[in-house]
Structure 1
Amino acid sequence: MNTDYTAQEIQDLVSEVLETADENGVLPIVQLGHPVLRQRATAYNGQLPTQMLEELLEAMRQTMYDAPGVGLAAPQVGIPLQIAVLEDLYPIPESSALEREREPLEYFEIFNPSFVATSDRQAEFFEGCLSFDGFQGVVTRPADITASFEDREGKEQSRSFSGWQARIVQHETDHLFGTVYVDKVETRSLINESELWHHDDLDVATARRVLNF
């Protein structure tokens, strides 16, 4: 699949994708098997006019809310650009928040991101993906990172994240380099969400015993 796009090709593709939005501005989410999920996305360097970029970001945000999810990368709506939107303000039980090291994450956008681990701590927990709908699995990731990225104005940013926030940033950044969480998952931990909901706050230790992984 072509990974070298002119600005005009990107604009034409974004226009086509935006036309697929429903009456609420929600875009279709592509599923695993679509080639765009397996390519390194093109770095964003101003290929889109300001209004088109704003329309795309708003559509991605509404699509993330509708799913619902805590992040959405441009490739997940069929656009091979290094852009993602993130937010996690959903109410969850305090026990779950403690187990995940989860702090609320206000909405923000990342362009051309990268990250580095800032400690030796590793964290394992269930992850899901809007592009592999209906399943979750255990993924081990660095628990503390510093992410470098640009905002929509092209200004360089650097932020540190820990726990669940670090997991979200890593998951979305992976999407921009053709990686999905099933590439890193403990295969035997994969569980259909219809089964997962039968277990109340299934932690990883219990899951290892129940699912034998």
Structure 2
Amino acid sequence: MENTELRAHVQTLLDQNPEGVLPLIQAGDPVLRVGTQQYDGQLGDLLPDLLHAMHLTMLDAPGVGVAAPQVNVPLAIAVMWDPGTDDPDDPDDTRERVPFEYRVVINPRYEPVGDEKVSYFEGCLSVNGYQAVVARYRTVRFTGIDEHGDSFDEVLTGWPARIAQHETDHLNGTLYIDKADIRSLTTTENLIAYWAFDCEPHAAGGILGFEVAQKPQV
């Protein structure tokens, strides 16, 4: 889209959803597959309004991240947040799930730090109702700029690294199902019924017949 067309598109999207929660695009819509434009100020003073709406959409879903293509905006922008878990007995802790403060990421990139990968069940707000096991890099270097134009460059490990990879992939036209072991694909209801919704895929791998990257010792 040209800049004027893009601004008009975003303004219409915001006007049509005055409460701020935007419709989430589902798999099959081309906007999730064609990739995004790098953000270079195309939205001007509309950017804060779009970011606020994306934040509200993420919280409403609920989810731990929303990328701009998921709300029908083809720009390299995403929001991310995860409260983590404080319960040492919570099975989520096996994911190295720690608090991941709310952030806006613009034109992000990631690269692996080392070659260790970890497998866990993963879902997506744009593939509603399903989960599958994805082996992702345990640790990544994550770079880009924030909503103020300030650069960030950090090393993420565990679940924050998974969130960063998932959302950045969205901006390149990649869905988690592209990287998943398809034998692990399950409805969310069956994930709860058979695997206790703990995102720990080793038992499922043994029964369903797919390989699982070794989980780290935490």
- Equivalent of 1:11 in 7, 12, 18: 7
User: Where does the alignment leave 5 or more consecutive residues of structure 2 unmatched?
Assistant: 211-218
Contact in 2 for aligned 1:143/1:163 (Cα 8 Å): yes
TM-score (norm 1): 0.92
1:121 aligns with 116
Q: Cα distance, 1:197 vs. partner?
A: 1.3
Deviations 1:11-38 (A, max 9, x none): 0111121123263x21100000011000
User: Map of 1:74-85 to 2, 5 A cutoff?
Assistant: 74-85=68-79
Q: Cα distance, 1:7 vs. partner?
A: 1.4
Q: Structure 2 CA distance, aligned partners of 1:197 and 1:135?
A: 11
> 1:168 and 2:160 equivalent?
no
TM-score (norm 2): 0.90
Check 1:202–1:44 CA distance in 2 against 1; reply closer, same or farther (3 A cut): closer
2:30 aligns with 35
Check 1:108–1:61 CA distance in 2 against 1; reply closer, same or farther (3 A cut): same
Q: Percent identity?
A: 43
Contact in 2 for aligned 1:14/1:79 (Cα 8 Å): yes
Please state whether the residue corresponding to 1:191 is helix, strand or coil. strand
- Over 4 Å off, 4+ runs: 90-93
Please state whether the residue corresponding to 2:177 is helix, strand or coil. helix
> 1:20 and 2:16 equivalent?
yes
User: Where does the alignment leave 5 or more consecutive residues of structure 1 unmatched?
Assistant: none
1:137 aligns with 132
- Equivalent of 2:205 in 203, 208, 211: 208
Q: Cα distance, 1:202 vs. partner?
A: 5.3
**Over aligned residue pairs, what C-alpha RMSD do you find?**
1.4
Contact in 2 for aligned 1:143/1:167 (Cα 8 Å): yes
Q: Structure 2 CA distance, aligned partners of 1:138 and 1:92?
A: 24
Q: Structure 2 CA distance, aligned partners of 1:202 and 1:47?
A: 39
Which residue type is aligned with residue 185 of structure 2? L
> 1:147 and 2:147 equivalent?
no
Check 1:97–1:202 CA distance in 2 against 1; reply closer, same or farther (3 A cut): closer
Contact in 2 for aligned 1:20/1:28 (Cα 8 Å): no
- Equivalent of 1:68 in 62, 67, 70: 62
Q: Structure 2 CA distance, aligned partners of 1:11 and 1:141?
A: 35
Deviations 1:82-115 (A, max 9, x none): 0000000154753423310111101001000111
Contact in 1 for aligned 2:120/2:199 (Cα 8 Å): no
1:58 aligns with 52
Deviates more, 1:179-188 or 1:199-208: 199-208
Q: Structure 2 CA distance, aligned partners of 1:45 and 1:64?
A: 23
